[in-house]
Structure 1
Amino acid sequence: MARQRDERIDRAVLAAVAALLREVGYPALTMEAIAQRAGTTKPAIRRRWKSQKHLVVAALAEERTGVVAIDTGCTCCDLVGHLEALRIGMADPAFGGVLPALTADLADDPELREDFLAVVWEPRREACVASLSKGEARGDIRPGLDVDLVLDLFAAPVVFRVLFGHRELGPSFVRGVVGGVLSGVGAIAGGLCEHAEPG
């Protein structure tokens, strides 16, 4: 009979990874440091996760940084809220600080990439899809749009600025992105709602 997996070790390891990412960063992360911080052993960690990179992805999924459920009754406000949560999340070294280096690893490992998209990125997209669907039902969003394209139009400018750091990434930028995208896909001319300050 197989021995039951101790979930306390799982939680301790994932918490240790998140803490170390904030302290030392992704490139300096080691299995030795993770095991020591979590109070376990490297073999115990390797039995649970395929590689250190998979462990980092699991920790990102556990943290759910930047994933929010919003329903203010205002489509523009909800979308600003989602994008602002992403912006703030990107400022967290355990998320935004990991993405540049992790992106290179994802390109070289299709399985890791699929895992990342499924457990880290998809929850963010699902939360935004819910807001877009409600916005369409309210008549704020034009029906029949390519949802994946619209979501990428919202998120891409924020991710781009995080990856390259070429310009400031602040709340006014987020509002500008939402206003710009809604000007193209919204049912109301002008895009911005009365509750969102102009960028």
Structure 2
Amino acid sequence: MTHGTAGQATAGAGRPAGRPRSEKAEKAIIEATLDLIAEGMGVAELSIEAIASRAGVGKTTIYRRWSNKEDLVADSLATLKAPLPAVGGVSVRDDLITLLAAMQNEAGQERTRCLMNIAMSDADRYPRLMGRFVKVAVEPRRKAVRDVVQRGVDNGELRPDTDVEVALATLSGAMLWYTKWGNGELTDDLAERIVDQVLSGIAPL
């Protein structure tokens, strides 16, 4: 009997006391948050009470996982970002096309676009929210592109004097331009066109 009690204590040692993790409840909370924002509720109007009511959970269930509204919104928005695609590592060109095509695909999803527009409009009022969102969703994508460009510099596929940060900004900025302000010019070969245009300026002669 004593052994069983000790075993149970050991099994639960890795889980913080008072913070049970329920994947079902967590998913319901995130979906409720996204639904309310997608319906036009700004971050300022969004409340833990409204989220709890929509998700069918108590407010304490939300506060066990998120200490404040901004962290919850940031994590919810981050779920809209699909996992980064695996890159083959064979060529810089192929890997950059893969990553930019994923960005284009994400931006083309209506729900994602709507939610991001609303969230970005509250960026000045909620810098913590945007800071967390950049950390969990944007920066991993920047790093993926940055790593591919740096690999190209290191292995000679790109010029040794390539400014990696400018190349990163040029590639991602061009895709952002087309997906946000490009007036529907989102062709299937857009990622390839952007990458080839940039590489023609930074590839070795």
Q: Normalised by the size of structure 1, how large is the TM-score?
A: 0.75
> Could you tell me how far apart the structure 2 residues matched to 1:113 and 1:184 are?
33
Q: Residue 112 of structure 2: SS of its match in structure 1?
A: coil
> Could you tell me how far apart the structure 1 residues matched to 2:148 and 2:39 are?
32
- AA aligned to 1:14 is I
Q: Between Structure 1 and Structure 2, how many residues are aligned?
A: 184
Gapped regions of structure 2 (runs ≥ 5): 1-15
In structure 2, the residue matched to 1:124 is 141
In structure 2, the residue matched to 1:4 is 19
Contact 2:73 2:129 survives alignment (8 Å): no
> Could you tell me how far apart the structure 1 residues matched to 2:159 and 2:54 are?
50
Contact 1:16 1:38 survives alignment (8 Å): yes
Counterparts of 1:50-199 in structure 2, within 5 Å, are: 50-51=68-69, 53-65=70-82, 67-187=84-204, 189=205
Q: Residue 27 of structure 1: SS of its match in structure 2?
A: coil
> Could you tell me how far apart the structure 1 residues matched to 2:67 and 2:188 are?
37
Gapped regions of structure 1 (runs ≥ 5): 190-199
Q: 1:180 to 1:186 in 2, by over 3 A?
A: same
- AA aligned to 1:71 is G
> Could you tell me how far apart the structure 1 residues matched to 2:114 and 2:170 are?
22
In structure 2, the residue matched to 1:195 is none
* Over 6 Å off, 4+ runs: none
CA deviation after TM superposition for structure 1 residue 152, in Å: 1.4
CA deviation after TM superposition for structure 1 residue 28, in Å: 4.2
- AA aligned to 2:21 is D
Greater Cα offset, 139-148 or 120-129: 139-148
> Could you tell me how far apart the structure 2 residues matched to 1:113 and 1:104 are?
10
Contact 2:153 2:162 survives alignment (8 Å): no
CA deviation after TM superposition for structure 1 residue 90, in Å: 0.8
CA deviation after TM superposition for structure 1 residue 91, in Å: 1.4
> Could you tell me how far apart the structure 2 residues matched to 1:7 and 1:100 are?
30
Q: Residue 97 of structure 1: SS of its match in structure 2?
A: helix
> Could you tell me how far apart the structure 2 residues matched to 1:107 and 1:147 are?
28
Higher Rg = 2
